[in-house]
Amino acid sequence: MEDTQHILSLSGGKDSTALALLGREELEANEIANLMLVFADTGNEHQDTYDYVDYLQNKVFKSVPFKTVKADFSVQMGKKRAFIQEHWKEDLVAAGLSEAEAEDRVAKALNILRPTGNPFLDLCLWKGRFPSTRRRFCSEELKHKPIDKQVIEPALEEYDDVFSWQGVRADESPSRAKLAEFEEHPTRWGLTTFRPILSWNVDRVFDMHRKHGVKPNPLYKQGMKRVGCMPCIHCGKKEMREIARRFPEEVKRISEWEAMVSDAAKRGVSTFMDARVTAKLLNTGTSVDEIHHTTHGIHAYVDWAKTSHGGKQIDLIAVAEQDDIPLCSSLYGLCE
């Protein structure tokens, strides 16, 4: 029993909190001997989530070992700077830019490509783009790799068996429905992924919170469907509308990041939400030359999010709600 370590990734969302409560129950019942909680800080979380994780760490799970991990891209950014200095000007001139335009773009990229200490922003500066639903490198780089390198690998060195607990549920998506409760990793001796709440529904998740007197992340009562990045690249229309009216400072921050990441982009443009999708939603041109972060960035997506079905007409009810924010907009019926 002592040769087994259980590692549980906590995001500040409802599922991983319920999972951690289940883990603590098993620990207290002596069904497991070693449990460790880990939080991967993406740098793109809402302050309420940071506060909630702090509450979980220091109040709810204060007797359980807890580690926060953060990705660091300073090495990759240094290599990218060297690559830009060596190759970009020639490539950009070959692509049709004048010498002066190419030099300007190289200078902007070299100027902005320095570590800020924010993992999400540094990842996008290094890649010269934001992640997208088609190129979803964010969770891999910001969560999976740092947890793996900083927590799972050392645990595999120390223990015979490591169980990595995942708080996924089958009813979330068809792909999750196909997952197994236990999954061994043939290339990584001793590592098993364990998904104990796979068969749970959302009611059972919140029942687990109630059973232990633990309040869910307050963002669920503010219209957020999922708790993770603020916003997430998968953010839909209604959720973006809620974010824009409740947390305009987050939209402003993303807009500032768009200007920074555009400077680091070889094409000179990058947007948080997929610009081609935004262009289609706004019924504007979709060619590369017509897309810019100032016209197709997060503010444009927010404008579209305020429209009614079809995307052309401003939803007057939604606009009126801007000045009348209800205290609770939970999508999970959490409001008392």
Structure token digits, residue 1: 């029993």
Helices 202-211 and 14-28 pack at an angle, to 10 degrees, of 50
> Binders of ligand SF4 among 93-122, rule CB under 6 A?
none
Name residues whose C-beta falls within 8 Å of residue 32's C-beta, 6 or more positions apart in sequence.
1, 4, 6, 23, 26
Name the minimum Å distance from CB 303 to ligand SF4.
21
Single out the residue of 145, 212, 234, 237 in contact with ligand SF4 (rule: CB under 6 A): 234
233 binds ligand SF4 (CB under 6 A): yes
CB of 120 to ligand SF4, least distance (A): 7
CB of 197 to ligand SF4, least distance (A): 19
Q: Does 261 bind ligand SF4 (CB under 6 A)?
A: no
Residue 232 near ligand SF4 by CB under 6 A: yes
**Would you count residue 71 as binding ligand SF4 (CB under 6 A)?**
no
- Residue 87 sits at the vertex; the CA angle it makes with 255 and 90, to the nearest 5 degrees, is 100
Contacts 24+ apart (CB under 8 A), 307-310: none
Stretch that binds ligand SF4, among 60-68, 229-237, 238-246, 309-317 (CB under 6 A): 229-237
If the CB atoms of residues 88 and 137 are measured against ligand SF4, the closer one turns out to be: 137
- Please give the DSSP secondary-structure letter assigned to residue 171: G
Of 136-144, 207-215, 295-303, 326-334: span binding ligand SF4 (CB under 6 A):
136-144
Given the complex with ligand SF4, which of 47 and 58 has the nearer CB atom?
47
Query: Cβ of residue 250: shortest distance to ligand SF4, in angstroms?
Result: 12
Q: Give me the least distance between CB of 274 and ligand SF4, in Å please.
A: 13
**Rounded to 5 degrees, what angle do the CA atoms 137, 140, 143 make?**
130
For the bound state, the minimum distance from the C-beta of residue 231 to ligand SF4, rounded and expressed in Å, comes to 8
25-44 footprint of ligand SF4 as x/- string (CB under 6 A): -----------------x--
Token couple for 114:
């320095």
Q: How far apart are the C-alpha atoms of 58 and 151, rounded to whole Å?
A: 20
> 234 or 266: whose CB is closer to ligand SF4?
234
Record the tokens describing residue 41, joined without a space: 């800080």
| Contact yes or no for 126/76 (Cβ under 8 A) | yes
Q: Which of 142, 170, 224, 298 binds ligand SF4 (CB under 6 A)?
A: 142
How many amino acids of this chain bind ligand SF4 (CB under 6 A)? 11
Does position 131 bind ligand SF4 by CB under 6 A? yes
Whose structure tokens read 């029942």? 207
For residue 279, the SS3 value is helix
Is residue 300 near ligand SF4 by the rule CB under 6 A?
no
Q: Is 167 near ligand SF4 (CB under 6 A)?
A: no
Q: Establish if 216 lies at the interface with ligand SF4 (CB under 6 A).
A: no
The DSSP-derived string for 133-165 is SSS--HHIIIIIHHHIIIIIHHHHHH-SEEEEE
Residue type, 242: E
Residue 229 contacts ligand SF4 per CB under 6 A: yes
Considering the rule CB under 6 A, would residue 193 count as an interface residue with ligand SF4?
A: no
Burial label, 90 (beta-carbon count in 10 A; 0-12, 13-18, 19+) = exposed
Spatial CA neighbour of 9 closest among 39, 33, 49: 39
Cα–Cα distance, 208 to 325 (Å, whole number) = 29
Question: Tokens standing for 180?
Answer: 């197994």
Nearer to ligand SF4, 42 or 307 (CB): 42
State the residues that interact with ligand SF4 by CB under 6 A.
42, 131, 136, 138-139, 142, 228-229, 232-234
